[in-house]
Amino acid sequence: MPKRKAAIAAGGVAALGAAAILLPNANASQDGASDDAAAPRTLKAADASDLASQLAGLLGDAFAGSYYDADNQQLVVNVIPGDNNNVIVQAKKAGATVREVDNSLAELDAGARTLKAEATIPGTSWAVDPRTNKILVTADSTVTGAKWDQLESTVESLGSGMATIKKSQGTFKTFLSGGDAIFAGGARCSAGFNVTAGDGTPAFLTAGHCGVAAAEWSDTEGGAPIATVDAATATFPGEGDFALVKYDDPATEAPSEVNVGGGQTVQISQAAEAEVGLQVFRMGSTTGLSDGQVLGLDATVNYPEGTVTGLIQTDVCAEPGDSGGSLFTQDGLAIGLTSGGSGDCTVGGETFFQPVTTALEAVGATLGAGDAAGGDAGAGEEAGAGEEAAPGEEAGAGEEAGAGEEAGAGEEAGAGEEAAPGEEAGAADESGLTDTH
C-alpha cells in the first residue's frame, strides 16, 4: 500500500452552522487589561484556565471554583472569604472577577462522594457547576419510579443549596458508530487528535469504548486496517474514556489539525484544560461540526456499561458515530474526545468528553506528530498555518493539506468525496453501529 499522509484528526464531513463562528480566528487577549491591578483582565480562554490554576494554589481552601465569562472574556473566581478579606484582594490583583459563594470545593466534593455511594444509577450524571456553586445532577429518561425516588432523596440529603436535579429527555449512551470516520467490523467511530506515542511512532486518540470494541481500525468501511489499538491504554468504563491507536505504517505523516469539512482545517497548537463557560467546537463523522459551551468539570456519568469519571460536561450535541471525535477551541486548543450523552442534534441534550490532557498523560503521548506536523503536511502555507488555518476562506488547507488525495487523506482517509459525508462515511444506517458516541 503506498505511503499516505493521514489526516485522521477529526472531520471529513460537511461543516454545519458552527463553521460560520469559526471563520474569524479568536484574537481576544490580555491587551485590554487595565493598568489598575484590581481591574479584571481581558483573557483568552487558555490564559483564563492558566490563571484559574494559579489562583487555586494561591487561595487554597478559599478557592471554590471558577468559570470563563465568554461575553466579557474574563475569569470569574468563586471564593469563601471567611474572616480573611485578603483572599478577595489577591484574586482581584491577579486580574479575576471575584464572587463570594457559600459552598466550598470540599463540601461539593463531599456531596459528589455521597451521590457516588448512594445514587450510582445507570442514566445519571453529576458535575460541579461553578456558575451556580452547586452540583448539577442529571437523570435521563430511564430514571423513573424507585430509581428517581432514590436519586431525589439522595440530593435532598445533601442539604439546601448543594445540588439541583435536571431531567433529560434522552438516554445516556456512548456514541460508537464516527472527525474522520474510522471503521472496525460493524462499528464506526471518529478519530480525535493525532499524537506521537511514547515510542516515537505516529498515532491518534479516540474514545476508550471504541478502543475496547475492536483492535484494528480502517479509514474506509470494509477496508484494510491502517491502525491498531494499544490495548494497554484502552480505558472504559472507569477513570476515563480514551484509547491510543497507533498507525501501522511508522512513516505515516499525521498533521496536527482538525478537518472541519469543506476543505477547511483548524491547526491544533496544544492541549488545554477545559473551563466552565468556554466556547468549544466538536467535530464528528456523523453530524459534522457543532458548537456550544462547557457546563461542568470532573463529571461522573453512569452509562449502561458502567461508570466513567473525570469527564467534561457540555451542551454540544452529538450522535452515534461521533464517538472519539475532537473537542477544540476556535484558536486551536485541543480540549476533549467525544464520550457519550443523551439526545441528538435535533433536540439537543447533554454530551460528555474525555479531557485530552488527562488522556495524553495516561497513554504517555504528546499532541501532534512530531516532524509530521511540519513541512507540507501541517504547518506550511498549504498545510494549515497562518491566515488560512484559522480557518479562513480557504480554511487553511491547500490541495495538499485539507482534502487532497495525499493529505486529506483522500478517498481512503475520510476527507474526500466519500467521507464528507459520502456514501460510506456519512450514513449512520450503513455503519452498522450500535448507539455509542
Evaluate whether residue 411 is within a structural domain: no
Q: Are residues 245 and 219 in the same domain?
A: yes
Q: What is the CATH number of the domain that holds 206?
A: 2.40.10.120
End-to-end CA distance of the chain: 30
Q: Are residues 57 and 143 in the same domain?
A: no
Q: Are residues 305 and 269 in the same domain?
A: yes
Q: What's residue 198's pLDDT?
A: 95
Evaluate whether residue 417 is within a structural domain: no
Closest by Cα among 436, 13, 15 to 188: 436
| 86-93 and 45-59 helices, crossing angle to 10° | 150
Evaluate whether residue 83 is within a structural domain: yes
> What's the length of the chain?
437
Q: What is the CATH number of the domain that holds 77?
A: 3.30.300
Evaluate whether residue 322 is within a structural domain: yes
Q: What's residue 115's pLDDT?
A: 97
Q: Are residues 73 and 135 in the same domain?
A: no
| Predicted confidence (pLDDT) per residue in 324-378, tens digit | 999 999 999 999 999 999 978 998 889 999 999 999 999 999 997 543 333 333 3
Of 42, 65, 100, the residue that ends a domain is 100
Evaluate whether residue 253 is within a structural domain: yes
Of 76, 100, 124, the residue that ends a domain is 100
Q: Are residues 208 and 307 in the same domain?
A: yes
Q: Are residues 47 and 173 in the same domain?
A: no
Give φ, ψ of 253 to 5 degrees: -95, 115
Task: Give yes or no for a contact between 378 and 257, defined as CB atoms under 8 angstroms apart.
Answer: yes
Evaluate whether residue 307 is within a structural domain: yes
Q: What's residue 22's pLDDT?
A: 58
Task: Annotate 403-427 with b (16+ C-beta within 10 A) or e (fewer).
Answer: bbbbbbbbbbbbbbebbbbbebbbe
Q: What's residue 175's pLDDT?
A: 64
Of 38, 70, 100, the residue that ends a domain is 100
Q: Which residues have CB under 8 Å from 133's CB, separation 6+? A: 64, 65, 78, 101, 102, 103, 108
Evaluate whether residue 205 is within a structural domain: yes
3-state secondary structure of 370: helix
| Predicted confidence (pLDDT) per residue in 46-92, tens digit | 788 889 999 999 889 999 999 999 889 999 999 997 766 788 888 89
Q: Are residues 175 and 271 in the same domain?
A: yes
Q: Are residues 42 and 121 in the same domain?
A: no
Among residues 125, 180, 209, 322, the one annotated as catalytic is 209
Distance, CA of 128 to CA of 196 (rounded, Å): 33
Q: What's residue 17's pLDDT?
A: 53
Domain count, the chain: 2
Q: Are residues 84 and 50 in the same domain?
A: yes
Q: Which three cell numbers stand for residue 269?
A: 497548537
Among residues 323, 326, 339, 342, the one annotated as catalytic is 323
Evaluate whether residue 437 is within a structural domain: no
User: One digit per residue, pLDDT tens: the chain, 437 residues?
Assistant: 334 445 455 444 444 456 555 544 433 444 444 444 568 999 988 788 889 999 999 889 999 999 999 889 999 999 997 766 788 888 898 899 999 999 999 999 999 999 999 999 999 999 999 999 999 999 999 999 999 999 999 999 999 899 999 998 888 887 643 245 889 988 889 999 999 999 999 999 999 999 999 999 998 888 899 999 999 999 999 999 999 999 999 999 889 999 888 888 999 999 999 999 999 999 998 889 999 999 999 999 999 999 999 999 999 999 988 999 999 999 999 999 999 999 789 988 899 999 999 999 999 999 975 433 333 333 333 333 333 333 333 333 333 333 333 333 333 333 333 333 333 333 333 322 233 44
Q: Are residues 305 and 357 in the same domain?
A: yes
Q: Are residues 121 and 9 in the same domain?
A: yes
Task: Give yes or no for a contact between 135 and 112, defined as CB atoms under 8 angstroms apart.
Answer: yes
Task: Give yes or no for a contact between 105 and 280, defined as CB atoms under 8 angstroms apart.
Answer: no
| 145-157 and 105-118 helices, crossing angle to 10° | 150
DSSP class per residue in 250-306: TT-B--SEEEEETTEEEE--EE----TT-EEEEEETTTEEEEEEEEEEEEEEEETTE
For residue 136, the enclosing domain spans: 1-24+105-394
Reply yes or no on whether 241 is catalytic: yes
Among residues 241, 291, 322, 331, the one annotated as catalytic is 241
Reply yes or no on whether 209 is catalytic: yes
The amino acid occupying position 337 is L
Distance, CA of 260 to CA of 193 (rounded, Å): 13
Q: Are residues 384 and 294 in the same domain?
A: yes
Give φ, ψ of 251 to 5 degrees: -90, 5
